[in-house]
Structure 1
Amino acid sequence: MKTKPPTILRFYLMAIVTGMAAGAGAALFNAFIALFHNLFFLGSWSFHYDWLRPTPPSFWGVGVIGVPVAGGLLVTWIIRRLAPEAQGAGVQEILRNLFLDHAALRPSLSAWRPVATSISIGSGASVGHEGPIMQLGAVYGDLLATLAHLAGWQRDTLLACGAAAGTAALFHAPWGGLVFALEILSPAGEWRRVAPVFLASFAGSWMISALGKGFPGFALAIPASGSWWAYMGLGLGCGAGAALFLAVLSALGGAFRAFPDNPYWRHGVAMAILGILIYLVLVQTGQYHVEGVGFATIAEVLAGGFCHPWLLFSLFLLKLLVTALTLGSGGSGGTFSPALFLGATFGAGAAILAQAIFPGLDLNPILGAVVGMASFSAAATGAVLGSALIAAEMVGGMGVLPLLAPACILAWTVRRLVLKRSTYTLELSWRGRPLAENLYLRIREAYLTGRQEKGRGNNG
């Protein structure tokens, strides 16, 4: 049955409704993470969780090593029995839906994806919550499109609206959510998506704030920019670091896929290694640091709480390893938040080390951490300007954007020269489903395809 397309105003209203639903879903998602985190680590039934404060030592003592294992086995059961799409970051499933299979998202994902990822993060697995909430928001958009009998670009736009709103809600970054979703999820030339995605992104950010569950932000005074070229060099270094992260993720993913065909064994072993590492980090530093999303450690870095570059580099390498272990073995969670952690520790550590070697170099470790957060996540995910905007909004300093944007471009370029896949398209390549990672590359592909077709026409 053919239905009349909605008017512009009605379609924009649908975008706002999708954004508000994604914002509410993000608030509920955060509550689930808090609940499972408190249950697993502290043995308490509470929905309160301060993202910017470190987790106190667990009452389990050395038994905390088994916490990620228990959570990981439960997550594996959910993925195997109830929701296979809950594995990984979630964004790859949206990309597969939009560009490869063009199939509807299962509504049951709205229940099982947040549960699986909440258990994963709550039990200490090193993953983020942004990819899953993008997937959850996309499910809401797809469901509304189905109810309204929308198809084609309008349906796909509502998926992008939900993803943008979820991102904006989690990081209190409406501009970042808008650009992030457009970079990752838009096909070449689809500029008509901008207005509805804009409305949804701001609606999602408003909704979670209205519910009192918004991200508090990293409150800091952004220092003067200092040596511009030095920060650009930091961007180049983050591009190389992101390539290393993706190479380790790919290598461990291949190694775990070569295990005997038992997903419980694969993920259980990986989470046991993670449990040992977070306990050793606790013994050595007094904090778990590399478990979960890691915002508390980022806050400490941005507050200038680390003076030794080798400690920062050690945390960088450990976080890289445990994130690759979690996702390579089949865990549930995103990569953007771990990329923020990796960028903050690498950026601050490199700035402190560079100052020690070259005393005249004007590099501020705090600003180095901000540049690292933006450029590392840009290189890893392929969302170049979206990452710069999210980082700027998270630290409350949009004035630093002119410094972050070129660093992000350089970081992404370096990573592309080394590895062609982002964290979101790497898993699709494992399945033999290659896809251009962002809007810029899709525009380039469309241009080259058009030139080839034109050439064939002229030859004919």
Structure 2
Amino acid sequence: MFGKVLAEFRQRPVSTYFTIKGRRSLYLYCVLTGIVSGLGALLFSRTLAWAEYISLESISGLHNTHSGGEYYVSLEPIVSIYLGRWALLILPILGGLISGWIIWKFSPDSAGTGTDSLIDSFHNKEGKVDPKIPLIKSIATIFTLSSGGSGGKEGPISLIGAGFGSLVANLTKAGARARRTLLLAGTAGGLGAIFHAPLGGALTSVEMVYREDIESDTLVPCIISSVTAFLVYSSFNGFGSVYKVPEIGFIEYKELGFYLFLGILCYLNGAFLIKVFQFVQEWSKSWKFPTWLKPALGGIPVGIIGYFLPEVLGTGAGVLQDVLEGSFQFPNYSSYLNQDLQIIFFFLLLAFLKIITTSFTIGSGGSAGMFGPSLFIGGMLGGALGTFAKLVLGYQVPVASFVLVGMGAFYAGIASAPIAGMVMICEIIGSYSLLPPLMIVSIITFVLSHKLNLYKSQKNTRFQSPAHDWDMNRDLLEGIRIEDIKFRLRNIAEVKTSVLLSQLEEEALKINASDYIVLEENGNYFGMISLRTSRLFLEGRDLTQNLILVKDVTDTSILPISARTNLATAFKTLLDMGMDKIPVEENGKYLGYLRYADIISIYFEKTRSAKPVSSS
């Protein structure tokens, strides 16, 4: 018995043991994808922290670059390389030049946010990602952000996991559906790790591919990957929240009106961000300069703005942390103006200039994400409205609550991801106390922003995605019965019960078939046999080739379907059986078999032609 098993093991290629055969094996690969995503996020975040320590902190003297829960280099700045604040004029240009050359030289697809390319890969490329894109984008983004370019770090981090998920699918020869699932699982892993948000990362990945829908089929795999990546990443960086916040909450119903207006404010500024960003994208295409030079040119206005207001450079996470803690030092422009009014103006100014610097950094061809800037812009808008509410209501309104709600609502609007925006904010602060106002404001912003489109590759619903053509047109197959297409039935891959298995194996080579319909001597249906699982072993073949009949290894549990069955049901039955053909009977008489390939062919004939499929 052991020898028989060993012989079978030797006959099977090693690669067959690593194929994705069902949900359980897919979940196992999601765990592996999560591990790689977590380690990739760890390596990226620490490399970026050291790069920011050298350039922004040591060279230019900019210190508030990280949130309270992020990894940072806890060393004194290197005095010997200190140049002063004027270096901020040069650093974004230099960083844009380096990142632009890297992208141009090694991977032009690595430019931009990264999220849009992921969405496009899901819908139009069967989840395929060039393995070099995550590496090149990570390196380019590190140069962009550490030099003061305005953007987020989620783009390359999510690409690391997505790229590995796609690579796993390719190595295991998985189908397009499994590859798309692993793509989103990798994305979820990267987001869940870097933002300490396992649920938020999973929800973001399944929600970002559509404007009015979610990829619900991949939610469980995304949760598995995201939780795994979070555990791996946090085991090195700690399990605390990304942002340290004071006591927050919703105090009185008087504040509700201001929260409602915050939703409108986020929508208006979200529309402005998208218009400016897309304008810079199109404008930069007309620049008569080499492609690799354009991000450096985009760094010129970024450097000028950053020299006067360095708060709008980089990810902005450190500024948000100071604002949330109440330790941010606001400028005092005039002793004659109310301090709260000056703070409101400063918040709005930071939001406006962050839109400009982000648009020039990424729109000119640089590499960075949009999630980080969206949190900053929304936070500044929330801070402005929270300060205004405090001024009008006359008591200490928790401004930090408005900041956090603005962060979630702004992203919900521009990315069409209201659920992800809510949950992500709750997880990055480690509290769900703000969930009610977050829900209200995020939904208002989302509803108002239904015509906005930051990610051009997003589809409205799954019914518009090539990834779900079968879901969209299932009703076409339901309207066709097998009896209407009898001429499609075949009688080639059939065998009688009395035939030797060895003889069938030889005949199968001639027609390149693996699954056979087994018939009794009188032509009645008996069962099915798959030569993928029922074969003679090489060892002892001489002894068994004249002993084993087809009848001995036939699976009689596979029942034929009626000719009145529609093609949608037949297709699902085929998938459940794991066979490439299915037997058909009419009034107890065997007619022939219908192949998997025949159903696909009929499907495309039906979708490409207005004429109904008929038997004529």
Instruction: Give 1:133 shift.
Output: 1.1
The answer (yes or no) to whether the contact 1:160–1:185 under 8 Å persists in 2 is no
Which whole-Å deviations, capped at 9, do the CAs of 1:25-52 have from their partners, x for residues lacking one?
00001012112222323458xxx99712
Which whole-Å deviations, capped at 9, do the CAs of 1:96-135 have from their partners, x for residues lacking one?
1111233631222232221111111111100101122111
What is the aligned partner in structure 2 of residue 206 from structure 1? 231
TM-score (normalised: structure 2) = 0.65
What is the aligned partner in structure 1 of residue 54 from structure 2? 39
AA at the equivalent of 1:350: L
Higher relative contact order (CA 8 A, sep 6+): 1
Instruction: Give 1:5 shift.
Output: 4.0
Q: 1:250 to 1:346 in 2, by over 3 A?
A: same
Q: 1:186 to 1:103 in 2, by over 3 A?
A: same
1:270 corresponds, among 298, 317, 332, to: 298
3-state SS of 2:138 partner: helix
Q: 1:439 to 1:365 in 2, by over 3 A?
A: farther
1:410 corresponds, among 412, 436, 444, to: 444
Q: 1:206 to 1:410 in 2, by over 3 A?
A: same
Q: 1:377 to 1:361 in 2, by over 3 A?
A: farther
Instruction: Give 1:325 shift.
Output: 0.7
Which whole-Å deviations, capped at 9, do the CAs of 1:161-184 have from their partners, x for residues lacking one?
100010011110111001101101
Q: How many residues align?
A: 438
Q: 1:225 to 1:396 in 2, by over 3 A?
A: farther
Q: 1:229 to 1:459 in 2, by over 3 A?
A: farther
Which structure 2 segments of 5+ residues have no match?
1-12, 331-339, 480-605
Instruction: Give 1:437 shift.
Output: 5.8
Instruction: Single out whichever of 59-68 and 364-373 deviates more from structure 2.
Output: 59-68
The answer (yes or no) to whether the contact 2:88–2:148 under 8 Å persists in 1 is no
Bigger-Rg structure (1/2): 2
- Choose between structure 1 and 2: higher helix proportion: 1
- Mapped to 1, the partners of 2:470 and 2:248 lie a distance apart of 40
3-state SS of 2:450 partner: helix
Which whole-Å deviations, capped at 9, do the CAs of 1:272-309 have from their partners, x for residues lacking one?
2111111112xxxxxx2111111111111212335511
What is the aligned partner in structure 1 of residue 218 from structure 2? 193
Within a 5 Å distance, the mapping from 1:285-324 to structure 2 comes to 288-304=310-326, 305=328, 307=340, 308-324=343-359
The answer (yes or no) to whether the contact 2:459–2:465 under 8 Å persists in 1 is yes
- Mapped to 2, the partners of 1:442 and 1:230 lie a distance apart of 38
What is the aligned partner in structure 2 of residue 145 from structure 1? 169
What is the aligned partner in structure 1 of residue 408 from structure 2? 374
- Mapped to 2, the partners of 1:214 and 1:321 lie a distance apart of 34
Q: 1:213 to 1:9 in 2, by over 3 A?
A: same
What is the aligned partner in structure 1 of residue 429 from structure 2? 395
- Mapped to 1, the partners of 2:296 and 2:65 lie a distance apart of 28
3-state SS of 1:157 partner: helix
Question: Are 2:40 and 1:12 equivalent residues in the alignment?
Answer: no
The answer (yes or no) to whether the contact 2:64–2:319 under 8 Å persists in 1 is no
What is the aligned partner in structure 2 of residue 349 from structure 1? 384
The answer (yes or no) to whether the contact 1:392–1:400 under 8 Å persists in 2 is yes
Which whole-Å deviations, capped at 9, do the CAs of 1:180-235 have from their partners, x for residues lacking one?
01101379685332211111111111110012267752222223343334312211
The answer (yes or no) to whether the contact 1:93–1:135 under 8 Å persists in 2 is no
What is the aligned partner in structure 2 of residue 284 from structure 1? none
Within a 5 Å distance, the mapping from 1:46-85 to structure 2 comes to 51-52=66-67, 59-61=82-84, 62-85=86-109
What is the aligned partner in structure 2 of residue 29 from structure 1? 44
The answer (yes or no) to whether the contact 2:241–2:429 under 8 Å persists in 1 is no
What is the aligned partner in structure 1 of residue 141 from structure 2? 117
- Mapped to 1, the partners of 2:354 and 2:443 lie a distance apart of 24
Q: 1:158 to 1:260 in 2, by over 3 A?
A: same
Question: Are 2:216 and 1:184 equivalent residues in the alignment?
Answer: no
- Mapped to 2, the partners of 1:119 and 1:215 lie a distance apart of 27
Which structure 1 segments of 5+ residues have no match?
282-287, 429-434
Instruction: Give 1:446 shift.
Output: 8.5
Identity of aligned residues (%): 26
The answer (yes or no) to whether the contact 2:134–2:160 under 8 Å persists in 1 is yes
Q: 1:202 to 1:168 in 2, by over 3 A?
A: same
Q: 1:139 to 1:213 in 2, by over 3 A?
A: farther
- Mapped to 2, the partners of 1:452 and 1:148 lie a distance apart of 32
The answer (yes or no) to whether the contact 2:209–2:459 under 8 Å persists in 1 is no
Question: Are 2:259 and 1:234 equivalent residues in the alignment?
Answer: no
- Mapped to 2, the partners of 1:378 and 1:440 lie a distance apart of 22
3-state SS of 1:185 partner: coil
Question: Are 2:111 and 1:87 equivalent residues in the alignment?
Answer: yes
What is the aligned partner in structure 1 of residue 519 from structure 2? none
Instruction: Give 1:351 shift.
Output: 2.0
AA at the equivalent of 2:216: W
Q: 1:449 to 1:140 in 2, by over 3 A?
A: closer
The answer (yes or no) to whether the contact 2:128–2:179 under 8 Å persists in 1 is no
1:336 corresponds, among 371, 374, 393, to: 371
The answer (yes or no) to whether the contact 1:76–1:331 under 8 Å persists in 2 is yes
What is the aligned partner in structure 2 of residue 431 from structure 1? none
Q: 1:310 to 1:438 in 2, by over 3 A?
A: farther
- Mapped to 2, the partners of 1:272 and 1:78 lie a distance apart of 19
Q: 1:70 to 1:200 in 2, by over 3 A?
A: same
The answer (yes or no) to whether the contact 2:102–2:140 under 8 Å persists in 1 is yes
The answer (yes or no) to whether the contact 2:280–2:359 under 8 Å persists in 1 is yes
Instruction: Give 1:7 shift.
Output: 3.7
Q: 1:448 to 1:142 in 2, by over 3 A?
A: closer
The answer (yes or no) to whether the contact 2:65–2:317 under 8 Å persists in 1 is no
2:249 corresponds, among 209, 212, 223, to: 223
2:157 corresponds, among 126, 133, 143, to: 133
- Mapped to 2, the partners of 1:203 and 1:440 lie a distance apart of 31
Which whole-Å deviations, capped at 9, do the CAs of 1:145-173 have from their partners, x for residues lacking one?
12222112111111111000100111101
2:190 corresponds, among 166, 172, 193, to: 166
- Mapped to 2, the partners of 1:176 and 1:310 lie a distance apart of 32
- Mapped to 2, the partners of 1:157 and 1:116 lie a distance apart of 27
What is the aligned partner in structure 1 of residue 531 from structure 2? none
The answer (yes or no) to whether the contact 1:20–1:204 under 8 Å persists in 2 is yes
Instruction: Give 1:342 shift.
Output: 0.3
- Mapped to 1, the partners of 2:418 and 2:395 lie a distance apart of 27
- Mapped to 1, the partners of 2:418 and 2:163 lie a distance apart of 25
